[in-house]
Amino acid sequence: MALSRLASSSTVGSNLIKPITAAISLHHRPISSDATTTLTIETSLPFTAHNCSPPSTSVTTTPSELLSFFRTMALMRRMEIAADSLYKSKLIRGFCHLYDGQEAVAVGMEASTTKKDCIITAYRDHCTFLGRGGTLIEVYSELMGRIDGCSKGKGGSMHFYKKDSGFYGGHGIVGAQVPLGCGLAFGQKYLKDESVTFALYGDGAANQGQLFEALNIAALWDLPAILVCENNHYGMGTAEWRAAKSPAYYKRGDYVPGLKVDGMDVLAVKQAVKFAKEHALQNGPLILEMDTYRYHGHSMSDPGSTYRTRDEISGVRQERDPIERVRKLILSHDIATEKELK
Amino acid sequence: MLGVIRNKSIRHTFSNFRHFSSPAKQMTVRDALNSALDEEMSADPKVGEYQGAYKISKGLLEKYGPERVRDTPITEAGFTGIGVGAAYYGLKPVVEFMTFNFSMQAIDHIINSAAKSNYMSAGQISVPIVFRGPNGAAAGVGAQHSHCYASWYGSCPGLKVLAPYSSEDARGLLKAAIRDPDPVVFLENELLYGESFPVSAEVLDSSFCLPIGKAKIEKEGKDVTITAFSKMVGFALKAAEILEKEGISAEVINLRSIRPLDRSTINASVRKTNRLVTVEEGFPQHGVGAEICTSVIEESFGYLDAPVERIAGADVPMPYAANLERLAVPQVEDIVRAAKRACHRSVPMAAAA
């Protein structure tokens, strides 16, 4: 009923929402009887560690978890593509930074955290917000400046918040969210909440000075802060090899341990995040580098093809797409049929 | 000398004499700030102080421990961001800048992360943080260490900006700032730290608190209104003394609060005296005086008998040499001259050549 309200608000919107309702109908399918059997799946790539021992590449999961990964990532993908059309129809104004391609990071993170753990990110926040429990209505209303938006239309694309689920935004200034995230971790430690904070940033922000200032203080004070570099290899239009003398972001912490993770593999993300949480609660900060990719340009005003080739983009889509990977896993383990996953 | 004058003026403005049955205790501004911090930290375990210099937080480390009184590395962007993040989480940090000149390294966090968050999140995120430290000119510290930020922060919606003058101001306003659920920029003055002011028993009580957004009329008068904040309040009071001898009765307003500005007190005063002199140490263009002048023109234009006189620091980076430095900030004689200009100058008739 919530979705039909959205559909009636504009014809453009209703055409776009139909595919999403189809994806959501998966909710009502009876799940196979062995939904809780444990499966152990190997991550596609090993972890690379810096100053720590990497976690095992064997990840435990269940059929229902895999299905929920698929469902949520597909929802996120379609949500972002719909936002693209809404922006081009001028129903969304100003900034719009899309996350399609990077869904595995948001979804994998939710699999190993609770809502007491905090997440703070920059402006590419629609899917992260959804992962934390936000609804489509809140996302689209906010993007279109309506009062039902998560920030009542006063924030816009870059300023989604959901404090009751530990999601602290939604920040427009590159790099600012990292010291803020370390501050959240400070609060968690001070109040002895036994929870951690994940401060997400991109390869572009990885060169920001305030990041190192915050990391230094976090390491000095043993804060339970995990810095997660979502390395999609382009800081706006600048490729990482042109922006960073050392693009090994997981090593940038020097005295702070780091782990490089295949960010297109949701199970690898799940494992790495679980490892990071345990580490941070005992030993202080850690850096996770998620090797990921965004299909869209930096924002809606960036076609994304002036600084990278279309072949590169389609190559990643064919070989590393996170949703396709989970689809193959589900089919190969006979958890659902091809038709059911459409 | 100043203490005696203040006692006299207080007797005129206070109707209730009970507070003054015993001689008022003296307290330095430094001790006033220290005691305010101490009491607020004692009252609320979520209040903590970060960065320590200038002895304002003396004794607090021993009393509350290193969990609550934290010395940070000299990395303003980092520790200010961490302070704001802690405030997002629900703690009540007090972040000290050694001087507000260094706040420029962290100004993104003060404005974009702290001031605007409550609005951008439609009330979900509140930021109960205090940024405090010395602001404005000191003595011989040169251009990079003498900037006044009152008008910079005063222009930003989402912030509250306070500027105490006396020990009573320091205690009451700092307590109010700490208790306030929004970000507060608390502009102290290094040269005032060692100055002593009388404080009544009411001020010394741990529940004492001053309202944010209310100016104080330090001395009542009827001929000209002089507004000032921080150290300039003392200069304005001295100027008022000199003017009194020359038959000009000046009303001195201690702004206390730069944002929100107490427009009603200022306008009520100008409607009474019909003349206004604004005083500040900071640079003139886009300064606090410019805002006060506009407010008076918007609300009390018909009451003005002379143009508003704006006294500010010289429009140059602060020089080092003592004689030049003295010329670069307002002095008592500048305020006296401006008040006289406001009182004796009359608007020329249109036909006059």
Domain borders along chain A are 44-337
Name the more confident of B347 and A234: A234
> Does residue A2 surpass a pLDDT of 50?
no
pLDDT band, very low/low/confident/very high, at B22 (cuts 50, 70, 90)? low
Which residues in chain B have their CB less than 8 angstroms from residue A154's CB?
119-120, 122
* Collapsed DSSP state (helix, strand, coil) of residue A163: helix
To the nearest whole percent, how much of chain A has pLDDT over 70? 89
* Collapsed DSSP state (helix, strand, coil) of residue A294: coil
Residue ranges and CATH numbers for the domains of chain B are: 2-204 (3.40.50.970), 216-344 (3.40.50.920)
Lowest mean pLDDT among A147-156, B43-52, B82-91, B307-316: B43-52
> Does residue A105 surpass a pLDDT of 50?
yes
Alpha-carbon span B249 to B226, nearest angstrom: 11
* Collapsed DSSP state (helix, strand, coil) of residue A322: helix
pLDDT band, very low/low/confident/very high, at A131 (cuts 50, 70, 90)? very high
The predicted pLDDT at position A126 comes to 97
Rounded to the nearest 10 degrees, how much is the dihedral formed by the CA atoms of B324, B325, B330, B331? -80
The predicted pLDDT at position B48 comes to 83
> Does residue B59 surpass a pLDDT of 50?
yes
Convert the pLDDT of each residue in A59-84 to its tens digit.
Answer: 999 999 999 999 999 999 999 999 99
> Does residue A9 surpass a pLDDT of 60?
no
- Quick check: B108 contacting A, CB < 8 Å? yes
- Tell me if A190 sits within 8 A of B127, measured CB to CB: no
> Does residue B41 surpass a pLDDT of 70?
yes
Q: What is the pTM of this model?
A: 0.88
User: Running DSSP on this structure, what letter comes out for residue A260?
Assistant: E
Convert the pLDDT of each residue in A156-173 to its tens digit.
Answer: 999 999 999 999 989 999
Alpha-carbon span B331 to B238, nearest angstrom: 10
Residues of B known to be catalytic = 76, 145
Lowest mean pLDDT among A10-24, B28-42, B161-175, B291-305: A10-24
> Does residue B348 surpass a pLDDT of 80?
no
The ipTM of this complex is: 0.87
pLDDT band, very low/low/confident/very high, at A339 (cuts 50, 70, 90)? confident
CATH topology of domain A44-337: Rossmann fold (3.40.50)
* Nearest-neighbour CA in chain A from B82: distance (Å): 4
The predicted pLDDT at position B58 comes to 85
> Does residue B312 surpass a pLDDT of 50?
yes
> Does residue A265 surpass a pLDDT of 50?
yes
The predicted pLDDT at position A35 comes to 61
Convert the pLDDT of each residue in A278-330 to its tens digit.
Answer: 999 999 999 999 999 999 999 998 988 889 999 999 999 999 999 999 999 99
Convert the pLDDT of each residue in A173-204 to its tens digit.
Answer: 999 999 999 999 999 999 999 999 999 999 99
> Does residue B16 surpass a pLDDT of 70?
no
How high is the mean pLDDT of chain A?
89
- Quick check: B67 contacting A, CB < 8 Å? yes
* Residue among B84, B109, B124 minimizing CB distance to A161: B124
What is the 3-state secondary structure of chain B? CHHHHHHHHHHHHCCCHHHHCCCCEEEEHHHHHHHHHHHHHHHCCCEEEECCCCCCCCCHHHHHCCCCEECCCCCHHHHHHHHHHHHHHCCEEEEECCCHHHHHHCHHHHHHHHHCHHHHCCCCCCCCCEEEEECCCCCCCCHHHCCCCHHHHHCCCCCEEECCCCHHHHHHHHHHHHHCCCCEEEEECHHHCCCEEEECHHHHCCCCCCCCCCCEEEECCCCEEEEECCHHHHHHHHHHHHHHHCCCCEEEEECCEEECCCHHHHHHHHHHHCCEEEECCCCCCCCHHHHHHHHHHHHHHHHCCCCCEEECCCCCCCCCCHHHHHHHCCCHHHHHHHHHHHHHCCCCCCCCC
Beta-carbon separation of B82 and A176 below 8 A: no
**Segment A23-45 mean pLDDT:** 65
The predicted pLDDT at position B345 comes to 58
* Nearest-neighbour CA in chain B from A167: distance (Å): 10
What is the 3-state secondary structure of B202-270? HHHCCCCCCCCCCCEEEECCCCEEEEECCHHHHHHHHHHHHHHHCCCCEEEEECCEEECCCHHHHHHHH
Alpha-carbon span B313 to B319, nearest angstrom: 12
Name the more confident of A92 and A7: A92
- Quick check: B278 contacting A, CB < 8 Å? no
**Segment B174-194 mean pLDDT:** 97
Rounded to the nearest 10 degrees, how much is the dihedral formed by the CA atoms of A30, A34, A37, A41? -70
Convert the pLDDT of each residue in B80-111 to its tens digit.
Answer: 999 999 999 999 999 999 999 999 999 999 99
Beta-carbon separation of B112 and A214 below 8 A: no
Please name the residue of chain A whose CA is at the shortest distance from the CA of residue B110.
Answer: A176
To the nearest whole percent, how much of chain B has pLDDT over 70? 90
Convert the pLDDT of each residue in A208-220 to its tens digit.
Answer: 999 999 999 999 9
- Tell me if B105 sits within 8 A of B199, measured CB to CB: no
Could you check whether the bond before residue A149 is cis, i.e. omega within 30 degrees of 0? no
Which residues in chain B have their CB less than 8 angstroms from residue A172's CB?
112
pLDDT band, very low/low/confident/very high, at B5 (cuts 50, 70, 90)? very low
Beta-carbon separation of A188 and B89 below 8 A: yes
**Segment B164-170 mean pLDDT:** 97
Burial class (CB in 10 A: 0-12, 13-18, 19+), B254: buried
- Quick check: A165 contacting B, CB < 8 Å? no
Convert the pLDDT of each residue in B103-142 to its tens digit.
Answer: 999 999 999 999 999 999 999 999 999 999 999 999 999 9
Mutate to test the interface with A, among B74, B107, B121, B131 (most CBs of A within 10 A): B121
